[in-house]
Structure 1
Amino acid sequence: MSAQLHVSPDRAALVADAADRLVRAIGDAITARGRAVVAVTGGTVGIELLAALVDRPVDWSHVHVTWSDERFVEAGSGDRNAVQAREALLDRIPIPATHVHELPAAGSGTLDQAALQATALLEHLGGIDVTLLGVGPDAHIASLFPGLPGVAEAGARIIAVRDSPKPPPERLSFTLDAIAASERTWLVVAGADKAEAVRLALSDAAPSEAPVAHARGRVETLLLADADAASLVA
């Protein structure tokens, strides 16, 4: 089943819509299970979405946050999704420090060791309620890029990614199976340069051509786009 497409008129409306949906999903998870686990993403729109949550009514004491991918650089590097997320949201809300589960940074071991540690963290969390994903113009999601071996990796785990076509070259990423293990998977995408990727997201393209076409959630898969990004399909 392909993703359900929802189109907002512009980028600001997209971010507001995604924030409203996420607040509701977090509330539903807390009501059902006593907590919510969200895997967030980086990228411009992903960080704008996090910033939009600062003043939203969320019971952060029952929310756990991790990342669907991360750049394998030093812990304090501005390239890390976690650093950007802290600046946009996490350092501005009353979320317990023990509820923020960063993926390993460079400097304390190898990339392969970091992937094993991150996988253990993912298993410890015991299920993701919402996985947020950005989409690249090349139809990549998380750090799963067309033509690279990561798209063929099986198992609900976090893998080492080398030779990323976008710097930095070394990264950690959910596999497609890890994404599919999430209760809900949401693709949040804006801009005319993403229009072809959005078209591919709704196609039957192979994972090696368009990883985005294989982003799925267990019970819900949403493609949230602005009008520019959806121009080839809406």
Structure 2
Amino acid sequence: MSDHVEVVLHENAEDLAQQTARRLLAAVGEVLGSRPAPAPVHVVLTGGRVGGRTLQALGELAGDAVAGEEGWDLSRLHLWFGDERYVPAGSDDRNDAQARAALASSPALAPVCWHPMPSADDGGDAVDAAARYAAELAEHAEDLGAPDVEGDGRQLPGVPAFDVLMLGVGPDGHVASLFPDRQTLSQQGVSVVVEEDAPKPPALRLSLGVDAIRSAAEVWLVVAGEDKAQGVARGLDPDEDVVRTPAVAARGRRVTRWLVDRAAASQLSGNA
């Protein structure tokens, strides 16, 4: 896990969404260009307000970006999810429904490989669903072989070498569905965990575990709004307790980027 942390400040939520979408497209293009085909690119998506706006911007920008590049084979792009509400497929509460709706207008993104977390109507219970998603992650864990990583390069066995993993941050400092003071934060070596009583509905959720998040080469925390300012400030405090603020645990193997608007950064020194 790298200690390299960057904070990138944007004027407002719309600028944050647009620039994060451009940054993501550039990152995908860079990996596609540097990695021999058919090696995949693995990206983890996030939901929430700014996550949805970022994906809408991505859908709008993708056509021009792909058309202007030689050799962009987006069938190599695998889209995963950091967490999911355990509700029926197609529910508006599901992150994958939001993501598909946001990206559906872009034919350029049609070839991407989707990896939604199981839904409540797929059969079995949430524990079974977590095991099935863990197995799906494991199927792709060897796609890149040993990760080429700066620093210690710790990667959880059984998950792909995620290239970019995006997360939102809640006002309480939670990331994915890892909430403060919950036992899910202490589950080590587990790629997918079950949160049975989330503090906001729907209560039953699936989430990547802490070690799976830390397996990503780059972790991007994308945050907008003054209501998130305390969570951002605590998440960037090196002395903060992860049990109180799970965002502290969200660190990439190469880099951790906090992509925030001015309102979300209002409690950071020098950025008010």
Fold match, TM over 0.5?
yes
Q: Larger Cα Rg: Structure 1 or Structure 2?
A: 2
Identity %: 39
1:84 aligns with 2:86: no
Structure-1 residue corresponding to 2:207: 173
**Residues 40-71 of structure 1: per-residue CA shift (max 9 Å, x gap):** 01101001101101123144332111101011
Per-residue deviation at 1:121? 1.3
CA distance in 2, matches of 1:73, 1:40: 18
The equivalent position to 1:41 in structure 2, one of 41, 46, 51, is: 46
C-alpha deviation, 1:172, in angstroms: 0.6
Cα deviation digits, residues 73-102 of structure 1 (max 9, x gap):
001211110111110114633445671111
Gaps of 5+ in 1: none
Say how many residue pairs are matched: 234
Q: Is the 8 A contact 2:44 2:82 kept in 1?
A: yes
Q: Distance in 2 between matches of 1:118 and 1:91?
A: 27
Please tell me whether residue 139 in structure 1 is matched to residue 154 in structure 2: no
Return closer, same or farther for 1:199/1:86 CA change in 2, 3 Å cut-off. Answer: same
Residue 23 (structure 2) aligned to one of 21, 24, 40: 21
- TM-fit CA distance, 1:191: 0.4
- Runs of 4+ off more than 3 Å: 90-98
Report the counterpart of residue 77 of structure 2 in structure 1: 63
Residue 190 of structure 1 is matched in structure 2 by 224
Contact kept? 1:41, 1:134, Cα under 8 Å: yes
Q: Quick one: which amino acid aligns to residue 167 of structure 2?
A: L
Do residues 217 (structure 1) and 244 (structure 2) align?
A: no
For the pair 1:116 / 2:131, whether they are aligned, the reply is yes
1:228 maps to: 263
The residue type equivalent to 1:138 in the other structure is D
TM superposition shift of 1:141: 0.1
Cα distance in 2, alignment partners of residues 32 and 172 from structure 1: 33
User: Which residue number corresponds to residue 199 of structure 1?
Assistant: 233
Question: Which letter maps to 1:39?
Answer: V
Q: Where do 5+ consecutive residues of structure 2 fail to align?
A: 67-71, 142-159
Query: Which whole-Å CA distance do the structure 1 matches of 2:256 and 2:138 have between them?
Result: 22
8 Å contact 1:63–1:95 — kept in the other structure?
no
Distance 1:174 1:49, change over 3 A: same
CA contact 1:71–1:171 (8 Å) conserved in 2: yes
Q: Contact between 2:188 and 2:210, CA under 8 Å: does it hold in 1? A: yes
Query: Please, what TM-score do these two structures have when normalized by structure 1?
Result: 0.95
Partner of 1:93: 107
